[in-house]
Amino acid sequence: MASTTDRKPRILVPEKVSVDGLALLSADYEVDSRPQGVPPQELLALIPDVDALIVRSETKVTAEVLRAGSRLRVVARAGVGVDNIDVEAATAGGIIVVNSPAGNIVAAAEHTVALLLATARNVGRADRTTKEGRWERGKLVGVEVGRKTLGIVGLGKVGMKVARMCIGLGMKVIAFDPYANPDLAQQTGVERLVPRLADMLPEIDFLTIHTPLLASTLDLIGEAEFKLMKPTARVLNVARGGVYNEAALLEALNKGVIAGAGLDVFTKEPPDQNTPAWQLLRHEKVTATPHLGASTVEAQENVAVDVCTQVAAVLRGELPTSAVNAPLILPEEYRALKPYAKLIERMGGLYTQHFASASASHVGVGGRHFELVYHGELAGVSNSRPLLAALVRGLVSPFSDTGGRHVNIVNATAVAREKGIVIREIHAHSGIGSGNEGSAYASFVMLRALATVEGTESEQQDREKTGGVDPGSQVIEGYVSGNNVYISRLDRFNASFSPEGTLLILHNFDEPGKIGGVGSVLGRHGINIRFMQVASLDLGRQKGGQDDAQPAQAPALETSAKKNGDEALMILGIDGDVTKDVVEDLRTAEGILNVSLVRL
């Protein structure tokens, strides 16, 4: 809409942001830069006259601030994380939130390589001892990185950049990422993708991880994984504190299980005294830095230029390149689809953390084919882009550099294509599935992960009409009630639970005593159960000839289950620190076939 005055749009910058970025705005906009910071009450007083707000991490953009911003059209975060911005309140108010997920890619990748070289040549220890007046040349013999093997977990933008740099150093690179595009990886020079993390640990000389911190990546590398590695191996972390179990890493270094570590991030920063992280900082085999991965002049300039360019685009009525929320949908459409977008994102995260992590036979490498089926009133929605984006965000979050926050309706299709994910949307107006014949729910959603995409066009059409499941495919169904979302089916099991928080999903024999046994295990570890639900086999689907659909566990366990009796899923919402020991205790309990840890 055209302004009724000649007033220039006003942009408030209540933190220090690179002048290179602000210079892009000064000619056409009134830029109020306050690098010293703005107190919360003063921000509330200023915001009603502001058209755009550019912040870093210190300014808290609360719902109260957003409600007061009657002219506010865009909030820009000069960086990646938007934890200091109430994105939900912004979206409800029609305010676009943008960030800069790519601005620090080079900085993070270069710091990874810097730590790799520093650990290989004992640079940190050499610098310290030399300044202390000791000349310990004989004690500081290092290794060359050329012709060594680097293992990368997470081939996102940073991981791929690290791969290119290390290939340039003459290294051989292998990687683990279920959603990596194999063609792109091969073009980059990655020698191969492995289906399981354990497959590459015995042969690598260096290991670097570039994933967000989720239930599936917390303590990703622990005692068992360190024991698979060479005693000459070194590990690197410029991603998130917690992907390595710090106590296990400390023990591995002390016992010579591995040779060294380069660490930029820790579970708590700065670490508390006398914790494993604190001891790692001081360990002679560790090169440590205080979270410097994105701390370069260029990175700060890059994110500033990026977000300022996007702010100018939004103020001109154009599309931003990195919208965190959904700018291309009408407010009334957004209100109707909002709970379904939440549901579908949780379904995607549930698939990746439950099904894809449970059995390598279902993961493999390369592309994925999914069907997202809308039933009931939802099938009549004309603009389903927010729903597609929500699915992609949920699927890629565990192996995305930014935890999926960069995925939005503007770039969801491109992200899916880059990751080798193929999604077919089906608007099936019939009300079939989850036992909700007779329109038990006004709308529900089915996510199918296809074991094969082959079949005649007629067979595909029949599947659309019936809601049927191909043998070997995996299915999640869910529905919305009010503003709450629920999962009503997990593969062959009927369920009814809210997919949020930390969940333990146990596949077990349906026999007396299982609930008590699981409760005892969790009680010993001090873990509280918030809720519990037992999901039973869908006997109607079994009788209908769909009992060939395989669950997430390995085939041997499936055969055992069929021989010993009925099966069930036990779904637990929990509070507490679920370590690998907890999962292993549950997995080895009598009658338990498989255990998945999921965080949503």
CA 430 from centre of chain: 33
Beta bridge partners of 414: none
The CATH number for 388's domain is 3.30.1330.90
CA distance 445 to 340: 8
Q: Are residues 33 and 97 in the same domain?
A: yes
Cis peptide upstream of residue 290 (ω within 30 degrees of 0): no
Q: Are residues 346 and 275 in the same domain?
A: no
Give the start-end residues of each E strand in 434-473.
443-449
State residue 367's pLDDT score.
62
Assess whether pLDDT exceeds 50 at residue 120.
yes
Assess whether pLDDT exceeds 90 at residue 131.
yes
> 280-289, 353-362, 377-386 — which is least confidently predicted?
353-362
* C-alpha closest to that of 538 among 489, 574, 590, 484: 489
Q: Are residues 111 and 235 in the same domain?
A: yes
Q: Are residues 307 and 357 in the same domain?
A: no
Assess whether pLDDT exceeds 90 at residue 559.
no
Residue 326 domain flag = no
State residue 436's pLDDT score.
44
State residue 176's pLDDT score.
96
CA distance 70 to 381: 30
Half-sphere exposure of 592 (CA within 13 A, CB side): 23
Higher-scoring residue by pLDDT: 455, 144 = 144
Q: How confident is the model at residue 552 (pLDDT cuts 50, 70, 90)?
A: very low
Mean pLDDT of 511-525: 86
Higher-scoring residue by pLDDT: 212, 207 = 207
Residue 322 domain flag = no
Long-range contacts of 268-277 (CB under 8 A, 24+ apart): 268/241, 269/241, 275/246, 276/246, 276/247, 276/249, 276/250, 277/241, 277/246
- What is the enclosing helix (H) or strand (E) of 1? none
Helices (H), 212-330: 223-228, 246-254, 276-281, 297-315
- Locus of tokens 């014949």: 437
Mean pLDDT of 225-234: 97
Q: Domain limits at 500?
A: 331-599
Residue 166 domain flag = yes
Residue 577 domain flag = yes
Q: How confident is the model at residue 503 (pLDDT cuts 50, 70, 90)?
A: very high
Q: Are residues 416 and 448 in the same domain?
A: yes
Q: Are residues 541 and 564 in the same domain?
A: yes
CA distance 314 to 325: 13
State residue 7's pLDDT score.
79
Assess whether pLDDT exceeds 50 at residue 428.
yes
Q: Are residues 112 and 77 in the same domain?
A: no
State residue 329's pLDDT score.
63
Mean pLDDT of 474-479: 94
CA 137 from centre of chain: 43
CA 189 from centre of chain: 25
The CATH number for 27's domain is 3.40.50.720
Higher-scoring residue by pLDDT: 329, 502 = 502
Q: How confident is the model at residue 357 (pLDDT cuts 50, 70, 90)?
A: low
8's CB contacts (< 8 A; 6+ apart) are: 28, 29, 30
Q: How confident is the model at residue 141 (pLDDT cuts 50, 70, 90)?
A: very high
CA distance 243 to 28: 45
Mean pLDDT of the chain: 85
State residue 453's pLDDT score.
54
State residue 555's pLDDT score.
34
Residue 591's φ and ψ, nearest 5 degrees, are 85, 0
Residue 512 domain flag = yes
CA distance 261 to 237: 8
Contact between 239 and 209 under an 8 Å Cβ cutoff? The reply is: yes
Q: Are residues 554 and 446 in the same domain?
A: yes
The burial class, CB within 10 Å (0-12 / 13-18 / 19+), for 196 is: middle
The pair of structure tokens assigned to 572 is 């637990």
- List the end-to-end C-alpha distance of the chain, in Å, as a whole number: 39
DSSP, collapsed to helix, strand or coil, labels residue 423 as strand
Give 87-107 pLDDT, tens digit per residue.
Answer: 888 887 878 899 998 888 999
Q: What total of structural domains would you count in the chain?
A: 3
Mean pLDDT of 193-198: 94
Q: How confident is the model at residue 577 (pLDDT cuts 50, 70, 90)?
A: confident
Contact between 222 and 245 under an 8 Å Cβ cutoff? The reply is: yes
Residue 4 domain flag = no
Assess whether pLDDT exceeds 90 at residue 266.
yes
The pair of structure tokens assigned to 261 is 């570590």
Contact between 240 and 211 under an 8 Å Cβ cutoff? The reply is: yes
CA distance 332 to 181: 36
Instruction: Compute how many other C-beta atoms are within 10 angstroms of the C-beta atom of residue 272.
Output: 10
Q: How confident is the model at residue 365 (pLDDT cuts 50, 70, 90)?
A: very low
Mean pLDDT of 40-65: 95
Residue 33 domain flag = yes
228's CB contacts (< 8 A; 6+ apart) are: 198, 201, 202
State residue 553's pLDDT score.
36
Beta bridge partners of 369: 422
The pair of structure tokens assigned to 293 is 């991965």
Assess whether pLDDT exceeds 60 at residue 261.
yes
User: Would you please indicate which residues are annotated as catalytic (active-site) residues?
Assistant: 240, 269, 291
Q: Are residues 89 and 163 in the same domain?
A: no
CA distance 432 to 430: 6
Q: Are residues 164 and 56 in the same domain?
A: no
> 327-336, 490-499, 538-547 — which is least confidently predicted?
538-547
Give 367-426 pLDDT, tens digit per residue.
Answer: 679 999 999 889 888 788 889 988 998 998 877 766 666 676 667 787 888 888 999 999
Q: Are residues 349 and 200 in the same domain?
A: no
Higher-scoring residue by pLDDT: 551, 331 = 331
Assess whether pLDDT exceeds 80 at residue 133.
yes
Residue 391 domain flag = yes
DSSP class per residue in 253-274: HHTTSS-EEEES--SSSSPPTT
Q: Are residues 264 and 342 in the same domain?
A: no
